[in-house]
Amino acid sequence: MADFKFMNYENILLHKKDAIAYVTVNRPKVLNALNLATMEELRAAFIDIKDDASIRAAILTGSGEKAFVAGADISELAKHGAVSAKEYTHRGQSVLDLMENLGKPVIACINGFALGGGCELALACTLRLASETARLGQPEVKLGIMPGYGGSQRLPRLVGKGIANQLLLTGEMITAQEAHRIGLVNEVTSPAELIPRAEAIAQKIIANAPLAVQYTLEAVNQGMEMTQAEGLYLEAILFGICCATEDKTEGTTAFLQKRPAQFKGK
């Protein structure tokens, strides 16, 4: 277990229940804006989740009813010059890389504004669910800057170059329904159903073999950056590793015996 379990968070909440870790950005007075301290707490929380074998999925959301994460903390951002801003961006990108490659699914529950760094935070998650009241966008160009937490890279990979360019260059906000239409979010729910729906999806994933889930995530994430031939080679290797696990023996045996499988992540 990581030492971070006992860390006293000031800007986020971390709660664990039924194999799910709930991470909530908790700065409602500034619409959950991301400052450096918040990013470092997110890093600590996700290292904890990665290292905790009892946790099989994570749900990420924002506190209050107005915002998931409304963006970066502009008062902090305004102070950066070229050198410090490059370092600031690298540090933030490494937190999102940790989330994206956690080996466990991270479900973003977008409960309000997800703008700039907030939209980028959601893009790094495995799945994105949005409340009907959510609004998403990358408005950085309106501030004389550009996305710095992966928005220029993950957004085109998710929704395609043309639509990504429209969002990135206009900086305009879109509704949850439009985000669903373009493939930016997986589903749109009522505000009350947002977390329960994420929990239902998480439980479906948790019922499956942990290593199979981990290797599938790895195949998708790494394969996106490869040629198809390279991706197929990676898939074959990871498939082979799956076939050497106790879970594969249990899963196939349970299927043949017509009983539920009891996976152990081994």
Question: Which phi and psi angles does 188 have, rounded to 5°?
Answer: -120, 135
Specify the DSSP class assigned to residue 265: -
Is 140 tagged catalytic?
A: yes
User: How far apart are the C-alpha atoms of 107 and 50, rounded to whole Å?
Assistant: 14
Give SS3 for 248.
Answer: helix
Task: Give residue for tokens 């947002």.
Answer: 194
Phi, psi dihedral angles at 60 (to 5 degrees) = -115, 130
Catalytic residue among 76, 100, 120, 187: 120
User: Where is 214: in which H helix or E strand?
Assistant: helix 210-223
Annotated catalytic residue within 41, 140, 193, 225:
140
Which candidate, 87, 94, 159, places its Cα nearest to that of 123? 159
Which segments within 104-215 are labelled E, that is strand? 106-110, 113-115, 127-131, 135-137, 174-175, 187-189
Instruction: Reply yes or no on whether 230 is catalytic.
Output: no
Cβ pair 136, 114 in contact under 8 A: yes
- Residues marked active site are found at 120, 140
